[in-house]
Amino acid sequence: MRVNPLFAQIALTCCLLGPCGITSVWAGPRVLPQIDPAQPSEKAVQDVQNAQRDDASLRQWLTQNGFVHQVSTRASDLVVNALSFLGVKYRYGGDSARSGFDCSGFVRYVYQETLGTVLPHNAAEQAHEGEKIPESQLKPGDLVFFNTLRRAFSHVGIYIGDGQFIHSPRPGQTVRVENLDSPYWAKRFDGARRIMTSP
């Protein structure tokens, strides 16, 4: 399941305005329209075209509002794609939007779907990929790691800019955006890695 990109825009606005609850704005993820390749109806084709326009609108809004300014198109695409999964449920071992994601499954899925980059399905193993970078040099698309299970690199998310990251937190919760500076996450921050190059 994926979120309507227009909702991602609203949720992102809420995140930028302060600590308001995303869940209070949104009723749940929507399934993007599927086209039967054998007999696509005009309405089905139109629904997919509208969804694609929504993605383009969100990307433009993010850029105009400085959220992903001065970053590569690949990083922008990664952030927009990650935000489209807001509200997808957590599932241990999960690696798809339909069944749910765990933290590393979410990161793996977004990277593979957006960039074609295949990462391990394990946060600690993902921490061995890419280039180690200091928190002060984070850019959208970087991976951020946390010690949430009393062991290093036990949780991972994707940095989206403005001190925020998106992740699939734990059972009973859904993909959401949080602040790196919040007391819980700041205390458990383990480092960051840059996986993608910036063409």
Q: Please list the active-site residues.
A: 103, 155, 167
What is the rounded distance in angstroms from the CA atom of residue 54 to the CA atom of residue 73? 17
Beta strands in the chain (DSSP E): 95-96, 100-101, 131-133, 143-146, 155-161, 164-167, 176-179, 189-194
- 146: Cα within 13 Å, side-chain hemisphere: 25
- Can you give the three-state secondary structure of 40-76, one letter per residue? CCHHHHHHHHHHHHHHHHHHHHHHHCCCCCCCCHHHH
Beta bridge partners of 155: 146
